[in-house]
Amino acid sequence: MTFFLQLVVTGFALGMIYALIALGFVIILKCSEAFNIAQGHFVLIGGYLGYTFLVTFGLPIWGTLLMAILTAIIMGLLIERLILRPLVGQPVLAVIMVTIALATVLGGLATLIWGAEYKAYHGLLPTINLQIGSISVPSESLIGLIVSIVTVAILMLFLRYTKIGLAMRATAEDLQVVQSVGIKATTVYAVSWVIASIVGVIGGILLGGVSGANMELAEIGLKAFAVVLLGGVNSIGGAIVAGIILGMLENVAAGYLDPLLPGGGLAKVFPFIVMIIVLIFRPYGLFGLVRIERI
């Protein structure tokens, strides 16, 4: 039982990080109806940025997060200005294609700057040991949990109560209406790309703290994609719940199923199997936006 609870707790923390990264997907999807294929590569960049600021510059964790957020803001603004602005009003498919290109460019940049090497830095994160009964929560998980919960909360408050948050939700509904009341669509897009890159980069640092920064971090994008599909593509709450579910499933599967199968690896597939089963019964995901039909 202790073993199980231990897996659930670390899975919860991992799931929260997935949820955070998945929010980047949801934000872009809500504003421009396009899947951002490069979301996983934001995570990759984040992992390496964590290494640069923590190890190379020797900053503390809060300084690292701050610097990474600054870098993410610049990155998001550049991406919107250079790549996406010319595509306003163009078909969604064009936007998706351009994010594929963006993913490749970011992956290439990471290789150029950090040499695609494995960089570990989990020793540099502060150690906080939390003991709940017989379960001990590892400090990477705890930091991951705290940072991602705080970020998600800030993000939700931002969308709910600020003016630009309202503008973003409105843009998700109808671009033309939004333009007709004087909201600049480009500002909304810029903010959404900045948010997507911030959550990606933060997620990257947190995951990098657990497993080290390496090129495989980009695959987290695929996992975040599964989270988004499971939660319902338009739902922020759905992404959070689905992220936690997938994180727990993955961890529990890693604990119980991997030893059964020689070679392991079942843990990585298991969440996707669950996703497929859920989607068979709820094609819009767990909390997909209900299409409003008036009677």
Partner 1 sequence: MLQVNNIEVVYMNVIQVLRGVSLDVSDGKIIALLGANGAGKTTTLKAVSGMLRTEEGEVTDGSIDFDGERIDRYGPEDIAAMGISQAMEGRRVLEHLSVEENLLVGAYCRKDRAEVKRDIERVFNWFPKIKQLRRQMSGYLSGGEQQMLVIGRALMARPRLMLLDEPSLGLAPLLVEEIYEIIARINSEQRMAILLVEQNVRAALGIADYGYVMENGRVVLDGPAEKLKDNEDVREFYLGLSAVGSKKSYREVKHYRRRKRWLA
From candidates 115, 123, 133, 182, binder to partner 1 by CB under 8 A = 182
Question: Please, which residue, 167 or 201, has the CB nearer to partner 1?
Answer: 167
Question: Please, which residue, 134 or 179, has the CB nearer to partner 1?
Answer: 179
Phi/psi for 134 (5° steps) reads -95, 0
- Quote the strand ranges of 40-164, DSSP E: 130-132, 135-137
Give the interface segment with partner 1, choosing from 19-27, 72-80, 210-218, 287-295 (CB under 8 A). Answer: 287-295
Show the site string, 240-259: x = touches partner 1 by CB under 8 A, - = not. Answer: --------------------
DSSP, residue by residue, 139-172: HHHHHHHHHHHHHHHHHHHHHHHSHHHHHHHHHH
166: contact with partner 1 by CB under 8 A = yes
Distance CA 194, CA 171 (A): 16
Give least dist CB 280 to partner 1, A.
26
Give least dist CB 186 to partner 1, A.
9
Distance CA 225, CA 154 (A): 22
170: contact with partner 1 by CB under 8 A = yes
CA dist 64 → 46, 52, 72 (Å)? 10, 9, 12
2: contact with partner 1 by CB under 8 A = no
Specify the amino acid at residue 212: G
From candidates 177, 261, 273, 277, binder to partner 1 by CB under 8 A = 177
Question: Please, which residue, 26 or 246, has the CB nearer to partner 1?
Answer: 26
183: contact with partner 1 by CB under 8 A = yes
Show the site string, 53-92: x = touches partner 1 by CB under 8 A, - = not. Answer: -----------------------------------xx---
178: contact with partner 1 by CB under 8 A = yes
Q: Classify residue 290 by its DSSP letter.
A: P
Give least dist CB 90 to partner 1, A.
10
Distance CA 136, CA 98 (A): 44
Using an 8 Å Cβ cutoff, are 227 and 239 in contact? yes
Q: Classify residue 223 by its DSSP letter.
A: H
Distance CA 139, CA 236 (A): 27
Give least dist CB 110 to partner 1, A.
36
Structure tokens given for 115:
């040499």
174: contact with partner 1 by CB under 8 A = yes
190: contact with partner 1 by CB under 8 A = no
161: contact with partner 1 by CB under 8 A = no
Nearest to 100 by CA among 229, 218, 206, 200: 218
Give least dist CB 232 to partner 1, A.
13
294: contact with partner 1 by CB under 8 A = yes
216 Cβ contact list (under 8 Å, min separation 6): none
Judged by the rule CB under 8 A, the positions of this chain that interact with partner 1 are: 88-89, 163, 166-167, 169-170, 172-185, 289, 292, 294
